[in-house]
Amino acid sequence: MEKIITYFKGIKTEWGKITWPERKQVIAQTITVLVIVIAFTIYTYGLDILFKGLLRVAGLIK
């Protein structure tokens, strides 16, 4: 039981060492991630349309 208590005391100590980012930084990074995800989604969708068109022209799909 003492090992468990020591473990949780260690967790509490380490928790206090965490430096949390500021709100502005979190918002900026979230927006950056969303923009990148949207850009890659649009890029992938564009490639999909391109390849479907090429396969239709080649007569491999209807």
Check residue 54 and give its pLDDT: 95
pLDDT digits (tens, 9 = 90+) for 23-44: 999 999 999 999 999 999 999 9
Burial 13-52 (b: 16+ CB within 10 A, else e): eeeeeeeeeeeeeeeeeeeeeeeeeeeeeeeeeeeeeeee
Could you tell me which of 22, 25, 6 has the C-alpha nearest to residue 14? 6
Query: Model pTM?
Result: 0.66
Mean pLDDT of the chain: 95
Check residue 1 and give its pLDDT: 87
Amino acid type, 35 = V
